[in-house]
A and B are shown apart, each in its own frame.
Chain A
Amino acid sequence: MRLRRLLPFAFLLALGLAAQDPTLKDTFLQAKTLWATQGDREGATTRFEQVVGALAPKAATLEPAWSQILCESYNWLAVLDDRGAQTKSRAQGRLQALLDLNPDFEVDRALTSQRLATVFDRLKAEKYAPVKFTYSPEGGTLSVDDRPGPPLAHRFLPFGTHKLVYSRPGYTPVELSLELVPRDTKTADFKLTRVSSTVTLYVQPSGAEVLLDGQSLGRTQGHAGPDAAPLVTPLGLRPEDISAAFVIGELTAGKHQLELRAPCHRTKVLEMEANLATPWADHTLEPIRLEASKGLLSVSSAWPGGELFLSGQSQGPLPVAQLPVCSGPYDLLVRFPAGGFYRRITVEEGKALTVEARPKPRLAFLGLEGETEFTGRARFESLLEGLGGRLQQVAFLPAHPGETPKEALARVQASHEAELVLLATPVPDKVIHQVELRVATLEGEEERLLVKPLEEDPLGPLAARLNAVPSLHEPGLGLVLLDLPGEPGPWVLSASEAAQKAGIQIGKALTQANGKPLPSTKALRQVLESARGTVALAQGGPPVTLPIQTEALEIPLGAAGLCYPAVLAQLRLQYAGAKGDEANLIRLNLGLGLMHFHKYDKAIEQLRDARFSNASGVSQGTLDYHTGLCFLRLGSAYQTEATQAFRQALKYPQATLLGPEGPLVAPLARQALEDLK
């Protein structure tokens, strides 16, 4: 008898016990063992009370299995209390609590004394009336006062009026009203009328979205029970491999299209013939298996310390090679010790995707300052929150809900989780129609932009500027070329020694590049951008092959299209992974960026310790000249240092500003020295 009672308990345990502390179940079993094998009434009582203490406060939301444990614990406590002279009086209270929890619960008559069982029955009869149910057809759902449950044959319901609804897919629901009074016994008979066919699905995996004719009907849930075994066993599956039954009711006449979607699986579309809909019947489809859909993802970086996150889930440190991932879109994020890398990727089934992660500066949005209401505020806030989706060169960190900008700034400054901050401040006015956007580095370089919240795309200019990254290099051939009227192509004004040795003639036009006509320097730039390694140039004769060189550039200063705090943050990150002349070039440009912000002392720190190995183009002379300019800006106290720097610059007569074809540094340095005399 006891074993038979434990069977449903074991099943319920499997369904819902996971939701609670597993040790509670051990406590419950220990309590029963203490009493059954050792007769330790006090020990058993203590443990049952622990169970009750833990479960009773949340009785209304308990899973059925835990509700069952709580009911049994009350039953046991009532029995144990009844055996002690001092505790006997509490037994009735235990039974009352049990009834309040579940009036349909039947006390264990083998365990409970006849006297106590009588008390239980009396207490039940004081508040509840028995109802007997019949269902035609069976297998539906009975809702009592809008609380759905299994269609039990007997129920005890509280005295009063109750709304009973019995429903089943494919049938019209039936509603009854039942008036219960003391010592009353009622019968409720439900007979449903069929109105359509139903189709029952079992899907592997569980959680798949079910769409009928393009309309979502919900998702499959849970796992099938043992009753599904006949269906799944022939397919080599176990019931727990597939979802619980998903019933499509109200299937209208005609053909239908069934679509099943699940993350990480290939979508399956099934055509349902008209004979499934009519004549009316209940159909159960063979369990449907969705094929897994995966691709391979590899992520690496030249910068150390990166950790990969896919849509918020950590995938471990870089490099990550050939990681099987479900096909579909992801937010790929790599967190570096400084900077981050973000890209929206789509992994395609059966394909490998390789990503090289270069850390990007992180921009922490501090929020929209103040609570002042203005027209378009909600839209503007929404645009700010969505700014990250528009940024390719900066990783966007949204504002934290409930945090003030000041708190957010303090957080970012303390954690160094971002290199840049963005603050939006409505400009006070009678009617607010301007918002000031401030982008700043944590070091204090700041830039502001005024936007109008009602304009079509108020954040467009900010996004464009944040996405603009000036290049520090351009491809070159060691040639200075001019576009001259009447010449067939770029005219060679000068050529490096190597280019001349290779056969390039000064004073003659280039006519072809890689076998194609070359009308202008613009066309050559395009050729260089797409070429790899070398370019074959002709000057009306046999082609000459020249290697493509990387020529250093200065960042443009004062360019309206650049956000200089972001440029500085980019350069600082790049410097962390750079060596040799590359590092020197970054330092030079960091210095220029700081000069843009009039931070000449900080610029000197960057410039003075860098040493280029090359002497022409943007090189050591360039660096010395800018160092001299910085000292000049610091005032007469640094006149000696400025003089020294300009003298140094004069040692590099081929050094230029801006780029390899920019103005020579030497005449400018010479004039600066002249002015310093």
Chain B
Amino acid sequence: MPTLPHQGTEPGPGVAAMLSLCPEASMSPASPWSRTPVALLCALPALVQMPALGQEGDLAERLYRSGERAYAAKAYKEAVDTWGQLLQSAPKSGFAPQALLALARHQMEVEHKPEAALPYLDRLKAEYIRTPEAAEGLLLRGILLARQARRSTELKDAMAEFNRVLDLFPESSSVPEARFRLGKAWRDQGQWGRALQQFVEAFRTHPDAAVAPRAMLEAAETMDLLGDLPGCLRMLQQLRTRAPQSLEAQEATWRMAVRVKHRLQKPPLSNDGPWPAGRAKWLKTPTLLATAPDGDLIIYQSDLDHAFRLHNGDLAPIGPGVPGAKAVVATPAGGVWLLSKAGLLREQGAPTPLNRLGAITGAALDRWGALWVADAKTPALTVFSPDGASRPVASPTANALAPLPTGGMVIAADADRKLLFLDADGQPRAVVPYGKDLPVPFRYVIALASDGAGQVAALVEGGDFGEGIMILGPQGAVLRQATLKSLGISGHITSLALDRSGGLILCDRRNDLLIRLN
């Protein structure tokens, strides 16, 4: 197998210098792995005193390889101990930074203790910044810091690490990932232009990098945020052309489809009838719907006090059981949280009290893991951070809430008869009066749903419009709408969800079924 294509040149060496250049010391030693004899390990304390650097290097290599062998055999403790010995006995060896990196990865990927990885990465940064491994170390450190951030201002340290990778190691294979992460950080701060720059640079300058499809997907989504729908669609198509087998291409397929259908084709809504496959009376009083990150529908059945995941036509219980849930939240990790008068119920543990919110009308998680809760009796939104602390976000009383890809939320304020598109800080970026773009107005919003691609669906009632459905674009323009009457629906619809084929699923609690609108 070929190894390590070196792209580009270090500053300076030209053809003439080529002949006098020594091969880089950073090249990974490739001598065959040999198992470290037990006797050698026992003699370590004595061996480490030996001054000969060559012997130390030899020992370090053997220790490193021994750790690799143990790690491959999932003997993690042995591997960690061996690499620890390497760091103690041969800290100046070229294998020391490799060992630090391996130990950090172990903490992140196997132990799932990112905080335990940081000390290794800190040491790598402090003592081995000149080694090639430092690039990956800085990248990992940045990723961990970004994960720990709970608000946009806490991203600075992470971004500094990503920028260090770009500045100090421009030839490193970590560069595309660093650019991608930098783009995500900018995007999380609402700096979409800067985010787009980084995403584009990531796949433009490293088209073969593993992160390239993700960068293309994020670039497309960012273009949409910037109002460039054609650019977004072109990019999604490019992604499907360039990496057709990738998960990102699958993601691009539905994101492209729903945008085109809702925003460009905009066919009149039609009633496909009971869904899936005409199934009727198969649920026990469904009242809430949500969409999982993978597109599966989450259905809360009131009579069963439980949420269920609908996967390939089969229902499977998910999340905790609780009577009278008022909101269901699908988490990025694939779990389901339920909100009721009793509080917030996660998969495990006791309910978390939600201050005195007794008329919950909607809830959603933001990028920082904070839970935004709307309450019909509270003239503000309440945001619960992961550590349980809460803070109010000034807003009219919200009768429904759904997350937006901008990082903000859309809320319905019946009292003001307005839909408010809030940014990540809770500031309204677009206000849509009830009835705008409609022949006649409605009075109430029963439920809101969003699809993660910029579309928002609203279940409305009252006024001259009566019970009906609206699908709005990212800026609040009504894209598609219909009354339930015109669709021939007479049940009691309590919730809705946008699916990934450009359809809309309605939850009919009276008839114990789901209805699909196309």
Taking a contact as CB atoms closer than 8 A, the residue among A421, A522, A560, A663 that contacts B241 in the complex is A522
Residue B349 interfacial (CB < 8 Å): no
Residue B31 interfacial (CB < 8 Å): yes
Known: A450-B2, A451-B3. A597 touches B8 (CB 8 A): yes
Q: Assess the A436–B204 pair: CB atoms within 8 A.
A: no
Chain A nearest CB, measured from B325 CB (Å): 33
Q: Assess the A425–B23 pair: CB atoms within 8 A.
A: yes
Chain A nearest CB, measured from B464 CB (Å): 32
Q: Which residue of B lies closest to A444 (CB)?
A: B14
Taking a contact as CB atoms closer than 8 A, the residue among A461, A482, A521 that contacts B260 in the complex is A482
Q: Assess the A440–B207 pair: CB atoms within 8 A.
A: no
Taking a contact as CB atoms closer than 8 A, the residue among A448, A483, A557, A560 that contacts B204 in the complex is A557
- Chain A residues with Cβ below 8 Å from B18 are 409, 421, 423, 438, 440, 446
Taking a contact as CB atoms closer than 8 A, the residue among A443, A465, A482 that contacts B233 in the complex is A482
- Chain B residues with Cβ below 8 Å from A430 are 31
Which residues of A in the span 573-617 have a Cβ within 8 Å of any Cβ on B? 596-598
Taking a contact as CB atoms closer than 8 A, the residue among B6, B14, B29, B253 that contacts A448 in the complex is B6
Question: How distant is the Cα of A672 from the Cα of B240 in the complex, in angstroms?
Answer: 28
Residue A243 interfacial (CB < 8 Å): no
- Chain B residues with Cβ below 8 Å from A458 are 2
Residue B265 interfacial (CB < 8 Å): yes
Taking a contact as CB atoms closer than 8 A, the residue among A461, A485, A486, A663 that contacts B231 in the complex is A663
Taking a contact as CB atoms closer than 8 A, the residue among B5, B27, B501 that contacts A434 in the complex is B27
Question: How distant is the Cα of A299 from the Cα of B193 in the complex, in angstroms?
Answer: 53
Q: Assess the B194–A436 pair: CB atoms within 8 A.
A: no
Residue A21 interfacial (CB < 8 Å): no
Question: How distant is the Cα of A460 from the Cα of B196 in the complex, in angstroms?
Answer: 37
Q: Assess the A564–B8 pair: CB atoms within 8 A.
A: yes
The A contact surface, by secondary structure, is mixed
Q: Assess the A675–B194 pair: CB atoms within 8 A.
A: yes
Taking a contact as CB atoms closer than 8 A, the residue among B3, B176, B196 that contacts A668 in the complex is B196
Residue A14 interfacial (CB < 8 Å): no
Q: Assess the B5–A663 pair: CB atoms within 8 A.
A: no
Q: Assess the A483–B30 pair: CB atoms within 8 A.
A: no
Chain B nearest CB, measured from A662 CB (Å): 7
Chain B nearest CB, measured from A175 CB (Å): 61
Residue A46 interfacial (CB < 8 Å): no
Q: Which residue of A lies closest to B212 (CB)?
A: A558
Known: A484-B260, A485-B257, A668-B197. A657 touches B204 (CB 8 A): yes
Q: Assess the A507–B206 pair: CB atoms within 8 A.
A: no
Binds A, one of B108-116, B222-230, B452-460: B222-230
Q: Assess the B219–A436 pair: CB atoms within 8 A.
A: no
Question: How distant is the Cα of A428 from the Cα of B235 in the complex, in angstroms?
Answer: 46
Q: Which residue of A lies closest to B193 (CB)?
A: A671
Taking a contact as CB atoms closer than 8 A, the residue among A428, A441, A442, A447 that contacts B23 in the complex is A428
Residue A34 interfacial (CB < 8 Å): no
Q: Assess the B11–A455 pair: CB atoms within 8 A.
A: no
- Chain B residues with Cβ below 8 Å from A671 are 193-194, 196-197
| Tally of contact residues, A, Cβ under 8 A | 72
Q: Assess the A447–B235 pair: CB atoms within 8 A.
A: no
- Chain A residues with Cβ below 8 Å from B197 are 668, 671-672
Question: How distant is the Cα of A664 from the Cα of B205 in the complex, in angstroms?
Answer: 16
- Chain B residues with Cβ below 8 Å from A452 are 1, 3, 30
Name which of B19, B204, B253 has the most chain A CB atoms within 10 A of its CB.
B19
Chain B nearest CB, measured from A430 CB (Å): 7
Residue B170 interfacial (CB < 8 Å): yes
Q: Which residue of B lies closest to A406 (CB)?
A: B19
Q: Assess the A446–B9 pair: CB atoms within 8 A.
A: yes
Q: Which residue of B lies closest to A525 (CB)?
A: B241
- Chain B residues with Cβ below 8 Å from A657 are 200, 204
- Chain A residues with Cβ below 8 Å from B14 are 440, 444, 446
Residue A186 interfacial (CB < 8 Å): no
Q: Assess the A493–B234 pair: CB atoms within 8 A.
A: yes
Known: A452-B30, A484-B260, A485-B253. A409 touches B19 (CB 8 A): yes
Q: Assess the B230–A446 pair: CB atoms within 8 A.
A: no
Q: Assess the A491–B204 pair: CB atoms within 8 A.
A: no
Name which of B3, B193, B226, B234 has the most chain A CB atoms within 10 A of its CB.
B234
Q: Assess the A450–B253 pair: CB atoms within 8 A.
A: no
Q: Assess the B193–A421 pair: CB atoms within 8 A.
A: no
Question: How distant is the Cα of A427 from the Cα of B253 in the complex, in angstroms?
Answer: 47
Q: Assess the B9–A445 pair: CB atoms within 8 A.
A: yes
Question: How distant is the Cα of A48 from the Cα of B405 in the complex, in angstroms?
Answer: 107
Chain A 642-671, CB-CB to B under 8 Å as 1, else 0, gives 000000000000000110011110011011
Residue B511 interfacial (CB < 8 Å): no
Name which of B2, B240, B501 has the most chain A CB atoms within 10 A of its CB.
B2
- Chain B residues with Cβ below 8 Å from A434 are 3, 27, 30
Which residues of A in the span 421-473 have a Cβ within 8 Å of any Cβ on B? 421, 423, 425, 427-431, 433-434, 436, 438, 440-452, 455, 458, 460-462, 465
Q: Assess the B1–A674 pair: CB atoms within 8 A.
A: no
Residue A405 interfacial (CB < 8 Å): yes
Chain A 44-77, CB-CB to B under 8 Å as 1, else 0, gives 0000000000000000000000000000000000
Query: 3 tightest A-B contacts by CB?
Result: A444-B14, A671-B193, A461-B2
Known: A521-B241, A671-B196. 4 other contacts (CB 8 A): A465-B5, A558-B7, A657-B200, A667-B228
Identify 14 residue pairs between A and B in the complex whose beta-carbon atoms are under 8 Å apart, listed by A's number: A421-B18, A427-B23, A429-B31, A431-B31, A447-B6, A449-B5, A480-B237, A483-B240, A486-B501, A557-B205, A558-B206, A560-B5, A663-B223, A671-B196
